Structure 1
Amino acid sequence: MLEVHSGHSIGQLLRTTLDEHSLSMRKLSELTDIDTATISRIINDKRKATLDHLEKFSTVLAIPLTTLLQASGYSVDPENDSTIVYDQTIQQLVNTSGLLSADISLSQVESQLVEYEDYVHTTEGKQRVVYEFTKKLESAGGVGPLADQMKKLFNRFKTQNGNARELAIIGSALLYFIVPIDVIPDYLFAVGYLDDAVAVQIASSELMKNS
């Protein structure tokens, strides 16, 4: 996961992230569906990023939404973790995407990850990760910090670099990405992979606790 330095403005944070991953503002525009000129103004601190902008940046750049909110000057409760923020973000994005009747919450992502932890212990689950991950990543575009993060997790899983618990956590996040049954359908551009990004961040947090 990207190491984010505290005290940076949203412009500094985005500029540093793009440099580290060799991404241009034009490419970020393509990935987020945000106009390049708007991204330029945000990066140069000439306009305030909206919640919608930050949600898309969080998804594509794999930066915690709370970090982006703080860098943009929004009030974030320091006693509150990212769980509620992501919960609200998922629901807001689904609502604006026309799925008004969907009951989307972070708990659904977490529940699915638990199920996949059991599945990844089976031969079928392991083989599915090994043989289907690359194809799914290519179909999703395969670029950006989230893709880089997932590639690292996949390489670690493929080489069995970790104990049984760590590999189960990694495998669950990869299966969440691979299996087409998501909390948010993947075909929804700039929205469909938000829950996959959340799943990866949940897994990364669990790995840190187990390290």
Structure 2
Amino acid sequence: MPLADRAYDALLLQVIGGERPPGDWLNIGALSREMGLSATPIREALARLEPTGLVRRNPLRGYEVAPLLSPAEIVQLMDARLLFEPTFAAAAAANATPEFLAQIMETIESMEKTGEHSDAEALKNSWIADERFHTLISFQAGNPFSRRAFEGLGSQLQRFRLSGRAGRTHALEAAHEHRDIYAAIARGDSETAAALMRAHVEHARRRTLTDERVVAEATTAH
């Protein structure tokens, strides 16, 4: 594995596993010593993490783990997703190919294997599969302009997922919803695909806000 990939995977797991909490400064020198790597692959890994929204760069101080989204920001982000994703699902149903259907089924099966495990590796695998499901549908919709506009939300999607941090991935529940969307797309039912995608995004928002509330209540209790 290339050194930058090794550093990227290690940092990603540390962030999503809670070893590096929001606000934690990511000193390149310290990370180099900790991982036994030179500064160059560490810098490359941090630069790759920045677009995910999980870390952010301060021009004066370097990189830090980004703060979690607030409940209001979660609502706003999901409202923005609702502008795109039902339309993408409808268009994908009209443009579905066997290769595309096989690809999105792979993502569903991957999420089902992840189950409801709460370890960092399970979280990472679940998020990768979830993101690929939605990305594949956005490409299959066939409109490069709306797809590029949707990609602008990408830097916030990982932060959204990390905000649901009550120790669950919700992978099985989300995978069940993905299967329903897949079935509608596979039979070319654009109207149902759009409705199911809208419901899925709204359910994801509710799940994350519920997790936020659980964590906030637990924190207050302590």
Give TM-score scaled by structure 2 length: 0.33
Higher-helix-fraction structure: 2
Q: Higher RCO, 1 or 2 (CA under 8 Å, sep at least 6)?
A: 2
Higher-strand-fraction structure: 2
Structure with max Cα Rg: 2
